[in-house]
Structure 1
Amino acid sequence: MSTVGTPVPPQQEGGFQELIKRFWGFDHLIGSALIKIIYYVGLAVILITTVLAMFGGGIMGAMMGGQGGGGGFAMFILAPIGGIIYLVFWRFICEMWLLMFLMYNRMGEIRDRLPPR
C-alpha cells in the first residue's frame, strides 16, 4: 500500500500550535488557566509550610534548650489550624482573581448582544 498521493488530515485543534497561537494572539484570555496553576502552587507551599511548622516547632524548641515539650505540642496543634486558615484565604484570593476574568468575559458577551450604534 502506497502513501503517495493520500490527503493529509487537517491539523487537530488543541495542539501545541494552537496553544502558541492563543498565547501570542490575545484572542483568548489565559488568565483563568494561569490562576488555577498559581492556586495549586500556593496549595503545595501552604501544605509544605504547615508540615514543616508542625514538626519543626518541637525540634526548634529542643534546640533552644526548652525543658518541656509544651511548645512543640502547641505548634503541632496550631500549625494545621493556621494552614487551614491560610488555605481558605488563598482560595478566596484566587477566586477573586478568577472572578475578574469571568466578569470581563461576561461583559464582552453583553457587549456583543447590544444593538450596534
Structure 2
Amino acid sequence: MGYFLKIHVEERMLKVSDFVGFEKMIAVTVVKVLYWFGLAAIAIGGIVNIVGSFRTMGYSFSMGLGQFLLTFIGIAVAAVLWRVLCELYIVVFSMHDRLGEIRDRLSKQD
C-alpha cells in the first residue's frame, strides 16, 4: 500500500511546466505500474496452467505432473525476466533525471 502512496505523492509534485518541458519523466512511474500488472498476468497465467495440469492428470498422470512442475519453473523464470526488463527500462529512463541533476549542480557552481 505504501508503494502506491509514494507514486501518488510523486505525481502530485509534478508541475505542469516540468511535464510540458520534459524536465521530469513520468515513464519510470508508468513502468512501475506496468510491472505490477505484468506480475499479476504472470500469476494468473500460472494459475490457469496449474488448473490445466490437474485436468491433464485425468488423462495422463505423468504429463499432468510434468506440466505442473514446468508451470512453477515457468512462473519463476517469467517473473525474474519481467523484473529485469522493467529494471532496464527504469535505468534508461532514470538517466535523464540524473543527468538533469548533474547539469543543475554544475550550473550552480559557476
Q: Give the one of 64, 77, 85 matched to 1:85.
A: 77
In 1, distance between residues paired with 2:76 and 2:24?
34
How does the TM-score come out when normalised to structure 1? Answer: 0.69
Change beyond 3 A, Cα 1:89–1:54:
same
Residue 36 of structure 1, aligned match among 32, 35, 41: 32
Alignment RMSD: 2.9
Q: Structure 1: which 5+ residue stretches go unaligned?
A: 1-13
Q: 1:50 aligns with which of 46, 51, 74?
A: 46
2:31–2:86 Cα contact (<8 Å) kept:
yes
| Percent identity between the two aligned chains | 31
- Bigger fraction of residues in helix: 2
Question: 2-side partners of 1:39 and 1:46: how far apart?
Answer: 10
Cα separation, partners in 2 of 1:77 and 1:21, compared to 1, 3 Å: same
Unaligned 5+ segments in structure 2 are 1-8
Displaced runs of 4 or more, over 4 A: 16-20
TM-score by length of 2: 0.73
Separation of aligned partners in 2, 1:55 and 1:88:
22
Alignment match, 2:103: 111
Higher Cα Rg, which structure: 1
Number of matched residues? 99
1:102 and 1:74 map into 2 onto residues whose CA distance is 42
> Are residues 112 and 98 of structure 1, via their aligned partners in 2, closer, same or farther at CA, if it must alter by over 3 Å?
same
